[in-house]
Amino acid sequence: MNKNITFLTVFLIVMMSLSGCLGSGRGNGGNDENNDGHEGDMGSAEEVNAEDYNVLYIGHSFGRIFALTLQDYAHTAGFTNHSQFIEMSGGASGAPDALWADDGHRENIKDYLDTGEIDVLIMICCSIEFMENGLQSDVAIWNFSSYAVEKNPEIRIGLALPWKDFPAEYENGTEYRNQSDIAYNSWANLSTNLSADFPTADVFTFHHGAVMYELRDMFEAGELENDIDQLTGSHATSIFTDPKGHAGQIAIDTGTLIWLHAVHGFEPLNMPEFTQWDTDIRVIADSVLDEENQE
């Protein structure tokens, strides 16, 4: 088989895993076990306060839990005016294309943007179009961005890249991480194009999924012995809580540091120590950010 074809095949499989679009309910999708009954939005457009720094996350559960936790982190870090709003839909239905196509979700998101007071809009990978067109474009991201900038000219637009689902299907951390850096580079290229089309917006990307790869590597190397008992299991002592790959508490805590840096530019090492963990997760987050900056 031609090397380019082989590479493209492997790469598309990685992207499909990231997007939750493998079908048959395998995605971050309709049977998402961590929806917690919040299949719609968190908060409402009527609650948006012009005096606050208003952050709107739209997407599936592999981003939702970090958006939920971000508000407390931001307040702890001194950003006391941070307000968080969420429009969530499980799995593939939380990708930008599905949210734009769904009348209810699209209009809810527009209601937030119509306030003219949204400071940050965060979307998460991956739309079907992005995968099928060779990772070149995503019309839904452009549609949301166009509307967001029209109503909020100086809005910041963040593109988040999650981790691959079904972690137990990968033999080890190296195999699990495989191709993820290339996927992030393509995601970053998309954001560069978006920034060129919307010069008044501050467009940025971040890879909170990299936290999962790093934690798995550390677990397999015996570096999390006092904190983590198993790869998948209880929320308190595992990296993942279910076969799908939803985040356990250590992953939530570490990943939210990546979100805090992305949204507020706050350095992980400047957060108070997390005394519930023997492992200094601030160092893990800082290392992930260093690797991201070198890509």
Domain regions of the chain by residue span: 38-294
Q: How do 156-160 and 118-124 pair as beta strands?
A: parallel
CA of residue 93 relative to chain centroid, distance: 15
Report residue 247 as tokens: 């985040």
- Comparison of pLDDT for 245 and 8, the residue scoring more: 245
Residue 41, pLDDT > 80, answer: no
CATH number for the segment(s) 38-294: 3.40.50.1110
pLDDT for residue 264 is more than 50: yes
What is the C-alpha separation between 225 and 237, in angstroms, rounded? 10
Span between the terminal Cα atoms of the chain, in Å: 29
Under the banding of pLDDT at 50, 70 and 90, the label for residue 10 is very low
What would the mean pLDDT of 136-158 be, rounded to a whole number? Answer: 94
For 23, residues 6+ apart whose C-beta sits below 8 A from its C-beta are none
* Percent of the chain whose pLDDT exceeds 90: 77
- Residue 234 above 90 pLDDT? yes
Closest by alpha carbon to 207, among 232, 192, 188, 231?
Answer: 188
Q: Does 22 score more than 50 pLDDT? A: no
DSSP bridge partners of 240: 232, 247
| pLDDT tens digits along 163-222 | 999 999 999 999 999 988 888 999 999 999 999 999 999 999 999 999 999 999 999 999
